[in-house]
Chains A and B, each alone.
Chain A
Amino acid sequence: MLSLYAENLLLTVGVFIILAWACYLPLLGGQLFNGPIYCAALAGYFAAYTTKTLGWPVPLGFFGGIAFAGLVSYGLAFFLAPLTMFQMSVVTIALIFIFQTTFRNLEFLGGVTGMSGIPSLDHLLPITLLAVLVFLVLLSRLYKSRWGRALEAVEVDREVSAAMGVDVNKMSQVLQTVSGAMGGLAGVIYAFNLGTIHPDVFGFGQLLYCFTIVFVGGRFTPYGPLLMAPVLWLIPEFFPSAIAEFRNIFFGAIIIVSLLTMPKGVITKRVVARVENRLKGLAGRRA
């Protein structure tokens, strides 16, 4: 039986891993898509409103939130898909602010103070861990699949990939929809875990935090966020309160040093290949 603190720790880290993967996935196709952040907010608010105010059953609010975020992301993808990497980044940052301001001003969603007293969902931790496991398997397979290589090609050169028959726009739409739904999953887990959702939670700060996880962890494999989400969350957790004001300096220094010494992140493709070879070697020796 896990303590309340340990359970919360696993849930929080789970939310950050899923959110970071949601940011990582479009990056594979060369898209700096910040949608997971506003999708997390949309899904969280949807789940909170439907379960608390409308009295929907909690599982329905949970899946409804994810579907709602995916649908919004799918709808927006029609307009966002043709954009270049930087255009998309700017537009989706603007969307974060637009959604945030909207939530702040909608009184039926609690306005500036957000919503509290959201009902809890049973078995949230096993659901979260299962989701992390499923995404890990899928992203690991994607990373080695033909689709993964196609995404890599789009990242390297969008025009050449299009000339070679890759439907770049469709690929972008799929990536944004899946990424939005993943962000939505993170949002509903967050809302049901804390029982509260607030417009300031899923803002620019959260975006920076997620991309820090992705870039420091390594943006070329799905294993980076898996390692860095718990590490970055736990550093402040165990930092002595007597020197708490220096925590952000320490935190920033780690990021700068790691990016200067390991520009591709802590876990690169080479690191993954090396680990795989070693594991194969061990398996071979045993056989």
Chain B
Amino acid sequence: MKFKALLTAVLLALVLIPGPAAAVDQWEVPFLNSWTGVAAGYGKLCDFFQKYAVEEINAAGGIAGKPLVVQDCDTAMDPTRAASCMKKAVESSLVVIGPMTSLSTQVCAPIAAKAGVMTLPVAGGYETIKDSRPWAVVLMIPNQRRAQFTMNTWLDQNPNVKSVVMLGFPKVAQWTKLGDLQKEALEKRGVKVLENIDVQSGAVDVSSVVVRAMKSKPDGIVTRLMIPDTVRIISELTKRGWKDKGAIFNHSSADSPELYSMSAEAGNVLEGTYIGSWGPGQDSEAYRNLLAAFKKIKGQENATGLMWGDLFYVATWMVKAAIEGTGVTGDPAKLQEERVKIRDYINSMKNFDSRVRGPIDARPDGTFTVPIFLARIENNKPVIVASSKDFKE
């Protein structure tokens, strides 16, 4: 009887005694993103998802009862400006969301690590955070695995492809690096890479590039391009008589609702081609709401998925989980100690409810288990053919 009473008292105490109260009126979290510069299109997409998460979090009572306020800093895809943003961010923040691009991450992650602040570059590429572990995590799978997965599964669908020409936008260093890894994966399967052609973004006329590519008489084409350039190149290939659409693979950089709208406008030119896809999201209310908002606010009525911008949505919810899960207060006097708590919490997340991508786990290398897919474009929609979750190297 006494034991029962004692147990009840302890349980009551645990329920009734409040956890450490927040020492701040609001949680200020810096968000580093590219609103301008070459990657502004992607940046605005990421901004939409990040801000949507903030709205949802605040509508649901904020973080530990205090509102979440995001401090935007535009890295403009310029490493000098990105460094400036991060140096400002690490002065008094518990955690930082972003930056978005690999180049900015390469500069910013070491600054955050040196200052002892956890940063969530999300899409910055695993290779760029390797030296800044455990102070940085990314949600995308490493390029090496991504290249192995996409090239092998695409070749499985196209056993007759024995030679390819690669077309890539050279200004994004990680894409160039990815191109090297794709080449490695193709050559391992005995496929010859005839040429690797640089395609500048926004070129009005891409005929010379396409003529050059077709002159080599490849069996397949692999692209790593921005969205409009992907449509332009494939339209030109079609116009010049390219028949086997299945022998065209597009890097996931192009997988966006805009791609499918543009393809439809250009006469369904992408029909039958393959793409590295971010896939459909989780079957959840949060996902359906986010997709509906995306369709409405961003005018993407035909959207079937959210591309990778929603990873910033996930990251923002991660921040909420970390602050609430560690019970940090935001007290400036305990800043360093609380930063370490946040770092350890995020690095050991297991079965984290991402709300839109299913439950995800932190891996020891600093990546999360968000899968990517190989999809075939049918009726201007990506139809999933294979998942990286099932892929064995």
Contacts of A111 in B (CB 8 A): 176-177
Q: Do A245 and B88 touch (CB < 8 A)? A: no
Nearest B-chain residue to A244, judged by Cβ: B35
Contacts of A248 in B (CB 8 A): 36
How far does the alpha carbon of A117 sit from the alpha carbon of B133 in the complex, in Å? 13
Q: Does B280 contact A (CB under 8 A)?
A: no
Q: Does A162 contact B (CB under 8 A)?
A: no
Q: Do B110 and A245 touch (CB < 8 A)? A: no
Q: Does B191 contact A (CB under 8 A)?
A: no
Q: Do A200 and B110 touch (CB < 8 A)? A: no
Of B75-83, B148-156, B227-235, the one touching chain A? B75-83
- Given known pairs A12-B80, A112-B173, the reply for A4 and B91 (CB within 8 Å) is yes
How far does the alpha carbon of A212 sit from the alpha carbon of B74 in the complex, in Å? 21
Tell which of A196, A241, A245 touches B107, judged by Cβ atoms closer than 8 Å: A196
Instruction: Report the minimal beta-carbon distance from B70 to chain A, rounded to whole angstroms.
Output: 10
Please indicate which of the listed interface residues B110, B131, B173 has the most CB atoms of chain A within 10 Å of its own CB. Answer: B173
Q: Does B171 contact A (CB under 8 A)?
A: yes
Tell which of A117, A241, A247 touches B110, judged by Cβ atoms closer than 8 Å: A117
Q: Does A194 contact B (CB under 8 A)?
A: yes
Contacts of A50 in B (CB 8 A): none
Chain B, residues 93-104, CB within 8 Å of chain A (1/0): the string is: 000000000110
Contacts of B84 in A (CB 8 A): 5, 8-9, 12, 237
Q: Do A236 and B103 touch (CB < 8 A)? A: no
- Given known pairs A4-B87, A12-B80, A196-B79, the reply for A113 and B127 (CB within 8 Å) is yes
Nearest A-chain residue to B89, judged by Cβ: A5
Nearest B-chain residue to A251, judged by Cβ: B36
Contacts of A7 in B (CB 8 A): 87
Size class of the contact patch on chain B: 20 to 34
How far does the alpha carbon of A248 sit from the alpha carbon of B35 in the complex, in Å? 11
Chain A, residues 1-17, CB within 8 Å of chain B (1/0): the string is: 00111011100100000
Contacts of B174 in A (CB 8 A): 113
Contacts of A201 in B (CB 8 A): 79-80
Contacts of B74 in A (CB 8 A): 236, 239, 241, 244, 247
Q: Do B127 and A194 touch (CB < 8 A)? A: no
Q: Does A195 contact B (CB under 8 A)?
A: yes
Q: Does A116 contact B (CB under 8 A)?
A: yes
How far does the alpha carbon of A248 sit from the alpha carbon of B37 in the complex, in Å? 9
Instruction: Report the minimal beta-carbon distance from A100 to chain B, rounded to whole angstroms.
Output: 11
Tell which of B81, B91, B173 touches A114, judged by Cβ atoms closer than 8 Å: B173
Residues A184-202 near B (CB distance < 8 A): 190, 193-196, 198, 200-201
How far does the alpha carbon of A256 sit from the alpha carbon of B270 in the complex, in Å? 43
Tell which of B72, B110, B127, B176 touches A196, judged by Cβ atoms closer than 8 Å: B110
Q: Do A198 and B91 touch (CB < 8 A)? A: no
Contacts of B247 in A (CB 8 A): none
Contacts of B103 in A (CB 8 A): 198, 200
Q: Do A4 and B115 touch (CB < 8 A)? A: yes
Q: Do B35 and A245 touch (CB < 8 A)? A: yes
Contacts of A241 in B (CB 8 A): 35, 72-74
Q: Do A113 and B36 touch (CB < 8 A)? A: no
Tell which of B40, B73, B127, B173 touches A198, judged by Cβ atoms closer than 8 Å: B173
Instruction: Report the minimal beta-carbon distance from B181 to chain A, rounded to whole angstroms.
Output: 12
Q: Does B273 contact A (CB under 8 A)?
A: no
- Given known pairs A241-B73, A247-B36, the reply for A236 and B81 (CB within 8 Å) is yes
User: Could you give 7 example pairs across A and B, Cβ below 8 Å?
Assistant: A3-B91, A4-B87, A8-B87, A9-B84, A116-B106, A244-B74, A245-B40
Chain B residues in the interface with A (C-beta under 8 A): 35-36, 40, 72-74, 76, 79-81, 83-84, 87-88, 90-91, 102-103, 106-107, 110-111, 115, 127-128, 131, 170-171, 173-174, 176-177
Chain A residues in the interface with B (C-beta under 8 A): 3-5, 7-9, 12, 104, 111-114, 116-117, 190, 193-196, 198, 200-201, 236-237, 239, 241, 244-245, 247-248
- A8-B84, A196-B107 known, 5 other contacts, Cβ within 8 Å: A111-B177, A116-B107, A190-B80, A241-B35, A245-B36
